[in-house]
């Protein structure tokens, strides 16, 4: 039942053939365009939302020239914009226009839940944080990885430094909008994270561990309330995660995952329970992985004053000797322009696949190019 990394990626790449069955409705609200990460796609979204892509080329040039002339004539020699004789106070008009636009919530802007946020298919979007951490330190580096499967246990300790670097890339795209008429969107995502012994000159600076995580998710917009929280998202998905290594370092598992998203002003919660697809036999690199990397997790996001705080809680949902879990705290804050500082603190089991049954504390400091969802 185990998927290889190449097979999982091939499956992901073959899914665009479903596009012929999907419809690409026009965006109904220009606000949704702000969530697209690619500049060219975001510009195309703005043009489409305003109807500008239907104008003849000559008309577009005329509009551009008229706009530039208008801007030049309304600016004096000191660079200040001159008030136009329109009979309307510009500040009042701006305030009225702003008050009419209600910002999309975090879940809505990232998953296109409401009708006005729909942008169609194959727009490249951010998923999990995209980060570069030049400093990533462990309190207890896993120099001799083990597994409940003897074939996947290392005999000799590895020469590893406690301080390394880490980086993560995570993207998603919608490949089918309106799977059940006007309900349900099918997304595919890919996350890759690497731990690099860049300061370990003695061992030729090897990559200690890289995790690959392709997944497919069917997401639905919901509208209910639980204890003051708005239930906005529900979904189901298939998730494959592996480290692409050969024995004895090989680690992998496949899961069926559920997604439940809740929010309130400045707060977002994503709850994900999952069931591991059994493998069994000698092919199972890590037969007890769900007792360490868990059977569910919860991600809590809080946005405050331009900063974003994240808390991940994960547990095996078992007691006694099978009770294991992990917690991760993240902090993202503005530095300059779109560049943001980023800090990550992890405690527990399974910071990466090779460390699924290894308990340690990890601290990472670096930059973030994209935050949660």
Q: Are 31 and 364 in contact (CB under 8 A)?
A: no
pLDDT at 101 (0 to 100): 56
Enter the tokens of residue 128: 């999990």
Backbone dihedral angles phi then psi of residue 280, each to the nearest 5 degrees: 75, 160
pLDDT at 373 (0 to 100): 59
Sites in the chain below the pLDDT cut of 50: 1-28, 56-62, 65-66, 68-88, 93-95, 97-99
Pick the closest to residue 128 from 236, 70, 211 (CA basis).
Answer: 211
Active-site residues: which are they?
240, 242
Distance CA 136, CA 189 (A): 25
Distance CA 228, CA 210 (A): 40
> Please, which residues have CB within 8 angstroms of residue 232's CB and are 6 or more apart in sequence?
105, 107, 108, 113, 221, 222, 223, 261, 262, 263
Q: What is the DSSP letter of 75?
A: B
Cis peptide before 248 (omega within 30 of 0): yes
Pick the closest to residue 37 from 133, 162, 128 (CA basis).
Answer: 128
pLDDT at 80 (0 to 100): 40
Q: List the domains of the chain with CATH numbers.
A: 5-17+120-370 (2.40.230.10), 25-106 (no CATH)
- Among positive and negative, which fits the CA dihedral 107, 112, 117, 119? positive
pLDDT tens-place string over residues 29-39: 566 676 676 66
pLDDT at 251 (0 to 100): 96
- Among positive and negative, which fits the CA dihedral 66, 70, 73, 76? negative
pLDDT at 78 (0 to 100): 38
């Amino acid at each position: 039942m185990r998927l290889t990394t190449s097979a999982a990626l091939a499956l992901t790449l073959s899914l665009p053939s479903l596009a012929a069955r999907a419809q690409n409705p026009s965006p109904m609200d220009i606000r949704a365009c702000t969530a697209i990460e690619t500049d060219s796609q975001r510009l195309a979204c703005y043009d489409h939302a305003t109807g500008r892509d239907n104008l003849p080329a000559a008309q577009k040039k005329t509009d551009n020239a008229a706009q530039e002339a208008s801007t030049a004539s309304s600016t004096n020699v000191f660079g200040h914009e001159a008030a136009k004789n329109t009979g309307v106070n510009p500040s009042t008009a701006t305030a009225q226009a702003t008050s009419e636009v209600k910002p999309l919530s975090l879940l809505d802007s990232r998953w296109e839940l409401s009708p006005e946020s729909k942008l169609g298919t194959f727009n490249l979007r951010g998923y999990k944080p995209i980060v570069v951490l030049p400093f990533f330190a462990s309190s207890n580096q896993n120099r001799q990885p083990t597994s409940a499967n003897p074939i996947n246990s290392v005999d000799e300790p590895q020469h590893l430094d406690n301080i390394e670097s880490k980086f993560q890339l995570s993207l998603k795209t919608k490949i089918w909008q309106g799977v059940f008429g006007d309900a349900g969107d099918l997304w595919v995502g890919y996350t890759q994270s690497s731990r690099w012994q860049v300061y370990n000159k003695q061992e030729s600076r090897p990559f200690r561990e890289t995790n690959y995580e392709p997944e497919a998710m069917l997401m639905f917009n919901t509208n209910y309330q639980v204890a003051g929280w708005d239930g906005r998202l529900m979904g189901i998905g298939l998730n494959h995660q592996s480290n692409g290594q050969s024995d004895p370092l090989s680690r992998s598992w496949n899961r069926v995952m559920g997604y439940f998203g809740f929010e309130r002003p400045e707060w977002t919660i994503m709850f994900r329970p999952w069931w591991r697809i059994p493998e069994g036999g000698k092919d199972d690199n890590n037969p007890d992985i769900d007792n360490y990397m868990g059977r569910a997790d919860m991600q809590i996001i809080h946005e405050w004053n331009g900063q974003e705080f994240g808390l991940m809680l994960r547990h095996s949902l078992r007691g006694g000797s099978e009770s294991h879990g992990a917690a991760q705290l993240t902090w993202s804050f503005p530095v300059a322009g779109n560049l943001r500082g980023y800090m990550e603190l992890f405690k527990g089991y399974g910071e990466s696949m090779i460390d699924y049954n290894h308990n340690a504390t990890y601290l990472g400091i670096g930059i973030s190019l994209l935050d949660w969802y």
